A = this chain, B = another copy of it.
Amino acid sequence: MNCHQIIFIDLNDALIPFCSTRIYLLMNTTINLNEMGLCQMLRAIDAGDCTTEAIIHACFDRIDAREPNVGAWQVKRSREAYLTYYQANKATLDASLLKGLPLGVKDIIDTVEMPTEMGSPIHQGRQPIEDASCVAQLRAAGAIVLGKTVTTEFAYFKPGKTKNPADLQRTPGGSSSGSAAAIADNMVPMALGSQTAASVIRPAAYCGAIGYVGSRGEFSLRGGQPLAQSLDSLGLFARQVEDIQLLRSILLRQPASIDPTNAQLPTCVLVCHGESVGDLSSAMQTATVKAISLLQAKGIKVIELEAGDRIREMVNHHINIMAWEVCRNLVIESFHADQLSAPLAALIEQGLSMDRASYVASLDAADACRDWLWSYSDEAEVILTPASPGIAPLGHDATGAPHMSRPWQAMGLPVINVPGMTDENAVPLGLQLVGKQRQDDDLLHYARGIMTLFAQE
């Protein structure tokens, strides 16, 4: 225990000073200040139980200790630069909602203070002239951009330097590799990402973070580099669902609260696994069965989705849509083919050679599948489905399989990875919850309840 630790005393996060070194109790466990969720941090500051500076130091201590191994950051402020900025704006920040706490921003999202290089040599040193609207909104709410987090090349397959903080021998997943790792490794309490295929859910699942993908069209993507306009979604990473709710409220310019709300359980869950989604590791099968048991033990009705080929077929439709649109968004880059990775060059080539009718058929198929899916059960409020086939694969040359995310992304549905499950070696296994189109708030309410269920195990 040191001066950057807190011990919570109860489940409602009512923080009570324990000694002058700012130590608190929670079920007799201790956590460092940097390990708190965003809202927990803000409540602790509000209550006078710790200072913003202490949290900032705790985050930088963690980064100093871990970044050489984890490699979550493409570029970042130094501790000194961060504190200088904080002190210079202290009055404003102290009065703000987010108090000057640190934010990680995926390096595909424009920032006016730091380069945005998109994981590509084509854009080395590229300095945007404006913040993306999501960054501008969070900065206006009092966040400070600590740095840009590692992305794969143009948010596609070619990995950056990041390693999985839960097991450094494994991929963190991609493309929002750095944001997921920075959250899971307690370096910052909030981070921005983006998902076109599996770029939020997969790294969140592999690293053990909460990753939320908004419904298609939910957030302004201004200043986030477009990859595929029918698929791109903003992603939010945090360690508590309430933090996602807070960040979402800020981004939507809605009333935002740091007060804890009650968790809400759904009454009926549609489960999509096994044949419907494809091969799963035995660990993931076990985790899914365990999740079903936990739901049923709470009296929640569980319906198994019998999808036949429908969900799996969405994988190829997703790839079709992505190939067509990527090659029409990455125009500048496709003129520098020698500086593209082989997988991205192949995707662009696929997009160039395909027929538009095939693209349109895939868009139509995704719309039809979404309509079918939510007419399957009148009762189901949310879908539970594995976020990946299993734990993060060993090695750093690839970012794992994206096909468990592609169907939901093609349908434009809101999704959240709920951590909590692990394999027998404590490597994270992610289950994702899929919500109804544009019903993101309901999804997050249910995610809060279900995450509490998983956490109690």
**Residue ranges of A at the interface with B (Cβ–Cβ < 8 Å):** 126-131, 133, 136-137, 140, 217, 219-222, 225-226, 229-230, 251-254, 325, 327-332, 335, 351-352, 356, 360, 363-364, 438, 441
Question: Which of B129, B230, B252, B254 has a CB less than 8 Å from the CB of A217?
Answer: B230
A329 near B222 (CB under 8 angstroms)?
yes
Between-chain CB contacts (< 8 Å), 17 pairs:
A130-B332, A131-B332, A133-B329, A136-B332, A137-B328, A140-B331, A220-B325, A220-B328, A221-B229, A222-B225, A251-B328, A252-B356, A253-B328, A253-B351, A253-B352, A356-B441, A360-B438
Whether the Cβ atoms of A220 and B329 lie closer than 8 Å is yes
Q: For A129, give its contact among B126, B131, B133 (CB under 8 Å).
A: B126
Residues of B within 8 A of A136 (CB): 331-332, 335
**Would A356 and B131 count as touching, CB distance under 8 A?**
no
**Are B253 and A133 touching (Cβ within 8 A)?**
no
- Identify the closest chain B residue to A112 (Cβ): B332
- Which B residues touch A328, using CB under 8 A? 133, 137, 219-220, 251-253
**Residue numbers in B under 8 Å from A363 (CB-CB):** 217, 438
The answer to whether A226 touches B220 (Cβ under 8 A) is yes
Instruction: Name the residue of chain B whose CB is nearest to the CB of A132.
Output: B331
Sorted nearest first, the 8 A-B pairs with minimum C-beta distance are A133-B331, A222-B226, A136-B331, A220-B329, A220-B328, A360-B438, A217-B230, A137-B331
A252, B351: Cα distance in complex, Å? 10
**Which chain B residue has the least Cβ–Cβ distance from A439?**
B360
A364–B330 CA distance with the chains assembled, in angstroms: 31
Residues of chain B contacted by A356 (CB below 8 angstroms): 252, 254, 441
B327 and A253 form a contact (CB under 8 A): yes
The CB with the most chain B CB atoms within 10 A, among A251, A254, A328, is that of: A328
How far is A127 from B162 in the complex, measured between Cα atoms in Å? Answer: 34
Cβ distance A367 to chain B, nearest Cβ, rounded Å:
9
Bound form: Cα–Cα A253–B351 in Å = 9
- A253-B327, A329-B133 known; A335-B226 Cβ under 8 A: no
A126 to B352, CA, bound (A): 33
Contacts of A217 in B (CB 8 A): 229-230, 363
Question: How far is A130 from B140 in the complex, measured between Cα atoms in Å?
Answer: 26
Residues of B within 8 A of A331 (CB): 133, 136-137, 140, 220, 222
